[in-house]
Each structure stands twice: as structure tokens, then as C-alpha cells.
Amino acid sequence: MPEGYEQFVADRLDRLLRYATAMTCDKHLAQDIVQNVLIKAQRRWDRINAMTAPYLYVKRMVTNEYLSWRHRKAARDLATEHAKLAEIGPAIQDHATQHAERDAMRKRIAMLPRQQRAALVLRFYEDSTDAEIAEILGCTEGTVRSHISRALSTLRATQPFAEEALR
């Protein structure tokens, strides 16, 4: 058992699960991904631990695991997304409570393309910088900004009473 690995897991597991759940919008998929990644990370813990920022690296592993998740799951994604789209109607009309507004936003976020959602979660949940996001997604900072600005305009365009909310 590599030194420090257990401490890392104890410290970061909850945060990684939250991050993966926010990114995948699927807690069971998130669990699978985080478990697989942590097992992989354990095998090469000495190398990861010697890095400048082990947590960032593991987060990158989690992100890649999800973004490279294709095949059958991708098809299911689309179906769920359509189902979620159908649900949005009533939620939008019932914006009287903050709760409904937030849930509607959750559904709109769930429909974003995966890269964009990952960037969004890193920016607004993990408070990551463009440089960190670029490192995690393995793209340039320009691409990060484009992911986020596209995501924001999609969310803005689909937001009810957007003008009021932006004020």
C-alpha cells in the first residue's frame, strides 16, 4: 500500500464523488468512474504523489474516464436527455420557488454537451481557473473559454425570464 494514498482517498473521496456526479448527472456512473480511477491511481500512486498537484491529476483521470465513455451509454444519454427536456415544461412555469428554478437549471445543465458541462462544473463548482480546466480537459485555454461561453449562452437562451435573472 503506497504511503499517503489512504489519506488522499479519505480527504478527497467525497469531493471526487460530488465532482463526478455533477459532471455526469448520474450518481451510479459517477461511482463507477471514481472507483475505477482510484483503483488505477493506487497502482501508480508513487508517481502521482510525486506530482505537483496529485488531486488535479486524479480529477483529470476522472474527467477523461467520463469524456471517453462512449458506446451504449452515449445512446442512453440522449434518450435520458430527451426525457429530461420533456420534464422541463412544468418546472419553468412553476418558477415561484427558488427550488423549482434550480431544478429547471439542473435539467438544462444535464442537456449540455459533455465537454461543456465538464468545463462548467470545473469553473462553477470546483472554482478552477481556465488554465486548470485546460489541463484537466487536455485542451487549450481558448477552448475552455469557448466551452464555457457556449454553455452559458445555451443556458441563458433557455432560461425563462432571462433578462430579469441577469439583472
Would you tell me which residues interact with other proteins (CB under 8 A)?
1, 3, 6-7, 9, 11, 13-15, 17-22, 25, 27-28, 30-31, 34-35, 38-39, 42, 52-53, 55-56, 98, 101-103, 105-106, 109-110, 120-121, 124-129, 131-132, 135, 152, 155-156, 159, 162, 165-166
CB of 21 to other proteins, least distance (A): 4
How is the chain split among helix, strand and coil, in percent rounded to 5?
80, 0, 20
Which helix (DSSP H) or strand (DSSP E) does residue 96 occupy? none
Nearest distance from C-beta of residue 81 to other proteins, angstroms: 14
Residue 137 neighbours by CB under 8 Å, 6+ apart: 63, 67, 115, 118, 119, 122, 143, 144, 147
Q: By C-beta, is 10 or 75 nearer to other proteins?
A: 10
Please, which residue, 81 or 103, has the CB nearer to other proteins?
103
Nearer to other proteins, 121 or 137 (CB): 121
Give yes or no for a contact between 58 and 16, defined as CB atoms under 8 angstroms apart. Answer: yes
Smallest distance from other proteins to CB 2, Å: 9
Closest CA to 110 of 145, 85, 74, 136: 85
